[in-house]
């Protein structure tokens, strides 16, 4: 519903904010425009205030004195910034990054099929991680014949013991 | 130069500059000083009526900016945030001086006829001088809204008052200024 401005309210706003409607409270601007369009008295009152508004825009702003300008320029040098616990701009940015990474991990984990036991890939992986072959095993190549036999007996014995396990 | 061109920047990158200040960026700090120091100085002078104290307030305001840029919330415009800091610092000084904060009771009697147009520059100087005769809070409200272009809501935030109180401060301030301009016109016409 469109709000309607009374003459009394219009005068109060005009007295406070002048004729520049962009300074008026946003909620009452539209009603003020409608009121201005419909009332010659409203336009006359606004014209009276417009002279003062124009003067406000003509007032010059003085630059800070050289003394103040120097003090302001030196301020960062003589006043180090306090140490921040979190050196980044916003705490929530890294938090979101961590949460997103965790979510991606969960999704990938739930979509990846469970690997079957003894699959070729698994065996290949086990084989690959089993370390160097007997031929490459350091020390084996350096053993004498007797020592080599003893070495293989120990190895086979270990295998047999493993097979006896429940 | 017109006051318009010297008003605090309306550009949205003020907030970005404050974030950079929080990271220790001195160039961003200097840019904010260049944009906002003149307006903050005028605002503080109107409140304190003392150029030296006003300079101290501006320096302290920018010290807060330098050391507490991380406290800035982009919900408020940077100019509003800085004006609020300066206002609070100035009010603290007024309290120390023993001046009551509710200074707007010093009502100027009103029977002002509408001022007749003089040349604009002279009238602008008269208006600037008349601003100094206003009670501090009326002057502060006028400077915020009519000179620095803050919205009513932003001015309320800076001054810590409600919309109704702000309207009252502004209306009484404008009325007193018109009266003072009218007096200046009369005395100018006689001389």
Rounded Cα distance, B85 and B76, in Å: 13
Assess B42–A contact: CB distance below 8 Å, yes or no. Answer: yes
pLDDT on residue B113: 44
Percent of chain B with pLDDT over 90: 61
Q: Which residues of B58-77 are buried (b: 16+ CB within 10 A; e: fewer)?
A: bbbbbbbbbbebbebeeebb
If you ran DSSP here, which 8-state letter would residue B41 be given? Answer: H
Out of B23, B66, B120, the one facing A58 most closely (by C-beta) is B120
Residue A154 pLDDT level (bands cut at 50, 70, 90):
low
Band (pLDDT 50/70/90 cuts) for residue B168 is: very high
Mean pLDDT lowest for which of A120-129, B89-98, B127-136?
A: A120-129
Compute the average pLDDT of residues A85-114.
69
Determine the pLDDT at residue B105. Answer: 47
Residue A114 predicted with pLDDT over 60: yes
A vs B, Cβ pairs < 8 A, gives: 125
Cα distance between residue B33 and residue B82, in whole Å: 11
pLDDT in tens, B100-131: 454 444 444 444 444 444 577 788 888 888 99
Closest CA to B3 of B177, B149, B139: B149
Cβ–Cβ of A64/B37 closer than 8 Å? Answer: yes
Give the Cα separation of B79 and B154 in Å (integer): 9
pLDDT band with cut points at 50, 70 and 90 for residue A85: low
pLDDT value for A4: 82
Query: Is there a contact between B117 and A52 (Cβ–Cβ < 8 Å)?
Result: no
Q: What pLDDT is attached to residue A7?
A: 94
Long-range contacts of A18-25 (CB under 8 A, 24+ apart): A18/A49, A18/A50, A18/A52, A18/A53, A18/A56, A18/B146, A18/B174, A19/A46, A19/A47, A19/A49, A19/A50, A19/A53, A20/A53, A23/B145, A23/B146, A23/B149, A23/B151, A23/B152, A24/B152, A25/B152, A25/B153, A25/B163
For residue A154, how far is the Cα from the chain centroid?
60
Helices (H), chain B: 3-6, 13-22, 26-48, 51-68, 78-97, 120-131, 136-142, 152-159, 163-190
**Residue A129 C-alpha, separation from nearest chain B C-alpha, in angstroms:** 48
Q: CB–CB of B24 and A81 under 8 A? A: yes
- Interface with chain B: mutation pick from A29, A60, A78, highest number of B CBs within 10 Å: A60
Provide the pLDDT for residue A94: 58
Taking CB atoms and an 8 Å limit, are A75 and B59 in contact across chains?
A: yes
Summarize the confidence of residues A151-159 as an average pLDDT. 57
pLDDT at B121: 75
CA distance A92 to A148: 64
Q: Is B116 on the interface with A (CB under 8 A)?
A: no
Q: Kindly determine whether residue B59 and residue A71, on different chains, have CB atoms separated by under 8 Å.
A: yes
Residues of A in contact with B151 (CB under 8 A): 23, 26
Q: Which of A9, A28, A44, A61 best probes binding to B when mutated, by most B CB atoms within 10 angstroms?
A: A61
Residue pair B130/B177 in contact (Cβ under 8 Å)? The answer is yes
- Tell me the pTM: 0.67
Residues 132-151 of B with CB under 8 A from A: 142, 145-147, 149, 151
pLDDT in tens, B50-68: 999 999 999 999 999 999 9
Q: How would residue A124 be classed by pLDDT, with cut points 50, 70 and 90?
A: very low
CA dihedral B26, A73, B55, B153 (to 10 degrees): -20
Is the ipTM value over 0.90, yes or no?
no
**B177: nearest Cα among A44, A16, A52:** A52
Nearest to A39 by CA among A74, A16, A6: A6
pLDDT tens per residue across span B23-42 = 999 999 999 999 999 999 99
Q: Chain A closest CA to B33's CA: distance in Å? A: 8
* Percent of chain B surpassing pLDDT 70: 80
**B147 neighbourhood in chain A, CB within 8 Å:** 56, 59, 61
Minimum distance, in Å, between the CA of residue B87 and any CA atom of chain A: 18
Span B126-141, average pLDDT: 91
Q: Chain A contact for B190, CB < 8 A?
A: no
Residue A61: per-residue pLDDT: 80
How crowded is the C-beta side of A60, counted as CA atoms within 13 Å? Answer: 8
């Amino acid at each position: 519903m469109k709000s309607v401005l009374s003459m009394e309210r219009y005068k109060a706003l005009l007295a406070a904010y002048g004729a520049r409607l962009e300074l008026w409270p946003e909620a009452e601007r539209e009603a003020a425009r409608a009121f201005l369009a419909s009332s010659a008295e409203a336009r006359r009152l606004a014209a009276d205030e417009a002279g003062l508004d124009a003067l406000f825009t003509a007032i010059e702003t003085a630059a800070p004195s050289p003394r103040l300008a120097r003090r302001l320029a030196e301020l960062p040098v003589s006043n180090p910034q306090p140490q921040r616990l979190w050196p980044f701009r916003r705490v929530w940015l890294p938090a979101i990054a961590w949460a997103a990474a965790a979510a991606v991990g969960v999704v990938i984990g739930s979509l990846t099929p469970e690997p079957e036991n003894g699959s070729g890939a698994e065996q290949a992986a086990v084989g690959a991680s089993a370390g160097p072959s007997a031929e490459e095993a350091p020390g084996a190549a350096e053993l004498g014949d007797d020592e080599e036999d003893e070495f293989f007996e120990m190895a086979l014995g270990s295998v047999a013991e493993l097979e006896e396990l429940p | 130069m017109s006051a318009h061109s010297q008003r605090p920047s309306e550009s949205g990158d003020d907030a970005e500059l404050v974030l950079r200040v929080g990271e220790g960026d001195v160039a961003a700090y200097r840019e904010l000083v260049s944009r906002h120091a003149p307006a903050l100085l005028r605002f503080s002078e109107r409140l304190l009526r003392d150029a030296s104290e006003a300079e101290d307030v501006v320096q302290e305001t920018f010290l807060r900016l330098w050391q507490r840029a991380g406290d800035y919330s982009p919900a408020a415009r940077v100019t509003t945030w800085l004006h609020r800091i300066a206002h609070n610092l100035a009010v603290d000084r007024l309290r120390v001086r023993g001046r009551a904060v509710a200074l707007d009771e010093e009502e100027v009697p009103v029977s002002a006829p509408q001022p007749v147009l003089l040349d604009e520059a002279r009238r602008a100087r008269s208006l600037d001088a008349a601003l100094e005769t206003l009670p501090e809070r009326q002057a502060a409200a006028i400077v915020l809204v009519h000179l620095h272009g803050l919205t009513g809501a932003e001015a309320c935030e800076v001054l810590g008052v409600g919309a109704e109180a702000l309207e009252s401060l502004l209306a009484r301030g404008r009325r007193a200024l018109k009266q003072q301009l009218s007096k200046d016109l009369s005395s100018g016409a006689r001389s």
